[in-house]
């Protein structure tokens, strides 16, 4: 990822999660990937997918809390009360994450007892056009 893409991803994520403190930087282990920082913490990773000729990005964030406190945890982490968990029809192992009415991604249960989760957000190249 080049500096322009990193900057665009940072702008997109700041708007999506409603937090201007988010920073996107090259990943230390693989410069083709990126890390999302909130303060001193790395909270997520971003991988590039350009297999089909279309460039897109996959954000993955581990969430170390149980289902009953998931929404509250994310609201506190991002300091954004507009974040909300929305059930998925016919699915009980995952939920959607929205910011207001805007869909952000899917949060999947990592283990059968629901003690940890992973947020996955697909970011398409046209999502970054305004940044």
Q: Which residues of the chain have pLDDT under 70?
A: none
Predicted pLDDT of residue 78? 96
Predicted pLDDT of residue 91? 81
32 sits in which H/E element: none
Q: Where does 5-116 show beta strands of DSSP type E?
A: 22-26, 34-38, 41-49, 56-63, 83-87, 94-99, 102-109
Which residue, 77, 58, 91, 95, is CA-closest to 17?
77
Predicted pLDDT of residue 29? 87
């Amino acid at each position: 990822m080049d500096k322009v893409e990193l900057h665009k991803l940072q702008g997109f994520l700041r708007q999506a999660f409603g937090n201007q403190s988010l920073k996107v930087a090259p990943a230390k282990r693989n410069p083709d990937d990126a890390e999302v920082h909130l303060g001193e913490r790395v909270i997520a990773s971003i991988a590039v997918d350009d297999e089909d000729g279309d460039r897109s990005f996959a954000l993955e964030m581990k969430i170390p809390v149980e289902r009953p406190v998931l929404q509250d945890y994310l609201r506190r982490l991002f300091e954004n009360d507009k974040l909300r968990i929305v059930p998925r029809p016919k699915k009980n192992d995952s939920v959607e994450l929205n910011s207001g009415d805007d869909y952000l991604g899917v949060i999947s249960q990592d283990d059968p007892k629901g003690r940890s989760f992973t947020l996955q957000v697909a970011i398409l190249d046209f999502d970054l056009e305004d940044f």
